[in-house]
Amino acid sequence: MTEPPRPPGDNGPGGNPPEPPTTPFTSPGSYSSPGESPPPGYGPPPPYQASPPTSGGGYPPPGAYPPPGAYPPPAEGGYPPAGGYPPPGGYPPPGGYPPPGAYYGGGAPGGFANGEEKTWAMVAHFGGAAGAFVSGGVAGWIAPLVAYLVKGNTSPTVRAHSTAALNFQLLWSIIGVAGYILLCIGIGIVGVIAAWALGTIFGIIAGAKAVNGEYYKYPMSPSWIK
């Protein structure tokens, strides 16, 4: 007896199961025609994105730079000040640099800028010695005071010499006056002689130093006037 024909896929009892239909593989994004839907299990392709520029290449997008005036002012020391950097040694003090031999306080001056300064320095020293000699040690301060008032405000060199002579002569003039007051008890003669001798001798020494352009610092001299 002949077995009737079976439908497709029916292998009969004990036969192998039918094989699933094969579907050709399509890679993502590969479609046969525009608008064709992707196969099941695949999403749409990601949109195109431009990669950011690497270091040292590419250009920033428009408007990335701040507008003019947005930068903060440079910190101190970043840019030179208006007018450029100062000259070597810094800017001169107000009124300019002192003339040769002059000074702005501090160290003792040396030399003279002109003959007038030298003349007034000798007036302060030699005049103080002469005043002390003639007056017996009580008027040695007059000549240094005159030099200080006349030229001391315009010449730092004359001011230094006249100040040194004035402080010294003023001290010993006071001692000389005290000595004359105490002559009645005999001890005052010591102060008179010391004021007369020291005011004369050291005034001459200081004047000789000034002739050579040197500054002489009087011994045992206070700093009352500067």
Mean pLDDT over residues 84-112, rounded? Answer: 54
**Where does the pLDDT of residue 21 fall: very low under 50, low under 70, confident under 90, or very high at 90 and above?**
low
pLDDT at 186: 75
Q: How far is CA 135 from CA 53, 110, 176, 222, in A?
A: 97, 31, 10, 22
Q: Does residue 203 have a pLDDT over 90?
A: yes
Mean pLDDT over residues 147-174, rounded? Answer: 95
Rounded distance, CA 178 to CA 163, Å? 23
Residues near 4 by beta carbon (within 8 Å), at least 6 away in sequence: none
Q: Does residue 223 have a pLDDT over 50?
A: yes
The alpha carbon dihedral of 130, 176, 201, 149 has a sign of: negative
**Where does the pLDDT of residue 89 fall: very low under 50, low under 70, confident under 90, or very high at 90 and above?**
low
Highest mean pLDDT among 17-26, 83-92, 188-197: 188-197
**Where does the pLDDT of residue 105 fall: very low under 50, low under 70, confident under 90, or very high at 90 and above?**
very low
Q: Does residue 70 have a pLDDT over 90?
A: no
Q: Does residue 224 have a pLDDT over 70?
A: yes
pLDDT at 6: 62
Side chain identity, residue 148: Y
As a whole number, the mean pLDDT across the chain is 74
Under the phi-then-psi rule, with left for phi > 0, alpha for psi from -120 to 50, and beta for the rest, what region is 137?
left
